[in-house]
C-alpha cells in the first residue's frame, strides 16, 4: 500500500502543478498581453522558461515552509504524512481547476495552505497555527502592498519614459521593459509558487527540495501550455484597460512584492500581487477605469479559496480512511 500511496501522491502533485500553471501563468504576462505589446505565445514561452529557472534556483525556501511549516509532515508516521500530502494536493488542485474554468485568478498559495491545514485537522495531526496566522497576515498585505507600489511608481515612470527617454526610442524602450518585467515576474513566480505543487511531497519525504522543484516546474509548464490562456484574458483585459507603461509598472511592482516574501520563505499569492498592482495603476486613471464587478468576483473567489480547498482535503482524508487503515 505504501508504494501505491506514493505513486498516487506524485500524480496528485503533478495535478496541482498542472492546475497552478493553468491559473497562474496570467500573473506573469497577462498585463503585458493586455497592453498589446506581447502576444499570447510569446508570453507563454517566457513564463515556461523563467518560471522553471526561478523554481530550480530559488524555490527551495518556500518549499520547506509549505512542507513542514503548517503541518510538520516530516514528524508524522510516513504513511500518515503521505496521506495528508495526497489529500492536500487533490483538494488544492481541484479548487484551482474550478476557478480556472471560470477564468478567475485565485491564490494557489491560499489553496495549498488551506488544503494542508484541512487534511491535518481531518487526521488529527498538529497544525502550527502561529505560522498559519503569519502567512494569513502576509496574504492580506500582498495585494495592498503591490497596489500601493504600482500607484506610487506610475507617475515617476511616466515622466522618465515620456520626458527623459528620446521620443524616437520610446517605443523600443517600452517593449524592452515589457519583456524584462515579464521575465522578472515569471522568475519570482516560479521561485514562490513551485512550493504550492511540491512542498507537501517534500515534507512527506517523497522527494528532496531540489527534485521537487524540477518535478513541480515541469508540471506547471504543462499547465501553462495546455490551459493557460483563459485566466490570461481576465488579467490582461478584464480588470482595466492597460496601456504599455501601466503593464510595466504593474508587473515590476508585483515582482518586487513577491520576491521580498520569497526571500523570507513565505508562500504568498502572485495572483493577489498582480491583481493588486493592476488595480493600483488603474486607480491612477480614476476609479471608473477599474472593472469593479470583475474585481468583486475575484475577491470573492479569493475569500473562498483556503476554506474550499481545506474542506475538499478534509473530506478526501475522511474518505481515504474508510479504505486505508
Taking only the tens place, the pLDDT of each residue in 278-317 is 888 888 876 666 677 777 888 788 888 889 999 999 999 8
In a 3-state reduction of DSSP, which class is residue 26?
A: helix
Average pLDDT of the segment spanning 30-49: 83
pLDDT at residue number 240: 65
- Contacts (Cβ under 8 Å, ≥6 apart) of 88: 112, 115, 116, 118, 119, 200, 313
**Which whole-number Å values give the CA distances from 146 to 46, 127, 255, 274, in the listed order?**
22, 29, 9, 7
Query: Which grid cell sits at 319?
Result: 474518505
* Mean pLDDT taken over the chain: 82
Q: Of 10-14, 65-69, 131-135, 237-241, which range is least confident?
A: 65-69
Contact present, 51 and 190 (Cβ < 8 Å): yes
Please tell me the total number of residues recorded for the chain in this structure. 325
Contact present, 99 and 23 (Cβ < 8 Å): yes
pLDDT at residue number 91: 92
Q: Of 63-77, 99-113, 261-275, which range is least confident?
A: 63-77
Q: Of 4-8, 32-36, 81-85, 211-215, which range is least confident?
A: 32-36
In a 3-state reduction of DSSP, which class is residue 325?
A: coil
Average pLDDT of the segment spanning 251-273: 82
CB burial readout 97-126, b (16+ within 10 A) else e: bbbbeebbbbbbbbbbbbbbbbbbbbbebe
- Contacts (Cβ under 8 Å, ≥6 apart) of 204: 9, 67, 73, 74, 78, 81, 82, 84, 85
- Contacts (Cβ under 8 Å, ≥6 apart) of 314: 87, 91, 118, 119, 121, 122
* pLDDT one-digit tens code per residue, 111-166: 888 898 898 888 887 777 777 777 778 778 888 999 999 999 988 888 888 777 77
Cα–Cα distance for residue pair 288/58, rounded to 1 Å: 39
Domain count, the chain: 1
CA-based nearest residue to 237, from 43, 33, 91:
33
Contact present, 90 and 212 (Cβ < 8 Å): no
Cα–Cα distance for residue pair 221/20, rounded to 1 Å: 9
Place of cell 495528508: 84
In a 3-state reduction of DSSP, which class is residue 156?
A: helix
Query: Which grid cell sits at 254?
Result: 508585483
Q: Which residues pair with 290 in a beta bridge?
A: 240
Q: Which domain range does residue 53 map to?
A: 2-323
Residue 61 above 80 pLDDT? Answer: no
In a 3-state reduction of DSSP, which class is residue 38?
A: coil
Amino acid at each position: 500500500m505504501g508504494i501505491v500511496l506514493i505513486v498516487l501522491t506524485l500524480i496528485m502533485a503533478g495535478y496541482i502543478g498542472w492546475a497552478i500553471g493553468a491559473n497562474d501563468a496570467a500573473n506573469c504576462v497577462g498585463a503585458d498581453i493586455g497592453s498589446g505589446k506581447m502576444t499570447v505565445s510569446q508570453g507563454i514561452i517566457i513564463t515556461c522558461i523563467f518560471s522553471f529557472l526561478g523554481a530550480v534556483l530559488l524555490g527551495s525556501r518556500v518549499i520547506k515552509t509549505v512542507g513542514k511549516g503548517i503541518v510538520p509532515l516530516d514528524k508524522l508516521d510516513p504513511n500518515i504524512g503521505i496521506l495528508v500530502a495526497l489529500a492536500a494536493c487533490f483538494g488544492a488542485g481541484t479548487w484551482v481547476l474550478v476557478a480556472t474554468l471560470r477564468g478567475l485568478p485565485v491564490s494557489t498559495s491560499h489553496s495549498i495552505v488551506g488544503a494542508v491545514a484541512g487534511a491535518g485537522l481531518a487526521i488529527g495531526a498538529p497544525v502550527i497555527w502561529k505560522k498559519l496566522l503569519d502567512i494569513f497576515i502576509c496574504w492580506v498585505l500582498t495585494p495592498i502592498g503591490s497596489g500601493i507600489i504600482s500607484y506610487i511608481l506610475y507617475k515617476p515612470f511616466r515622466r522618465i519614459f515620456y520626458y527623459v527617454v528620446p521620443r524616437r526610442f520610446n517605443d523600443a524602450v517600452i517593449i524592452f521593459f515589457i519583456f524584462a518585467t515579464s521575465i522578472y515576474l515569471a522568475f519570482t513566480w516560479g521561485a514562490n509558487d513551485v512550493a504550492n505543487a511540491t512542498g507537501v511531497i517534500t515534507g512527506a519525504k517523497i522527494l528532496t527540495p531540489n527534485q521537487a522543484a524540477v518535478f513541480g516546474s515541469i508540471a506547471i509548464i504543462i499547465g501553462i501550455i495546455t490551459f493557460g490562456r483563459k485566466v490570461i484574458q481576465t488579467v490582461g483585459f478584464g480588470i482595466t484597460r492597460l496601456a504599455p507603461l501601466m503593464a510595466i509598472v504593474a508587473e515590476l511592482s508585483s515582482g518586487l512584492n513577491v520576491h521580498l516574501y520569497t526571500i523570507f520563505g513565505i508562500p504568498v499569492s502572485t495572483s493577489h500581487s498582480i491583481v493588486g498592482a493592476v488595480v493600483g495603476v488603474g486607480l491612477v486613471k480614476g476609479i471608473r477605469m477599474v472593472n469593479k464587478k470583475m474585481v468583486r468576483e475575484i475577491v470573492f473567489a479569493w475569500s473562498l479559496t483556503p476554506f474550499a480547498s481545506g474542506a475538499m482535503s478534509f473530506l478526501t482524508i475522511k474518505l481515504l480512511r474508510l479504505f486505508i487503515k
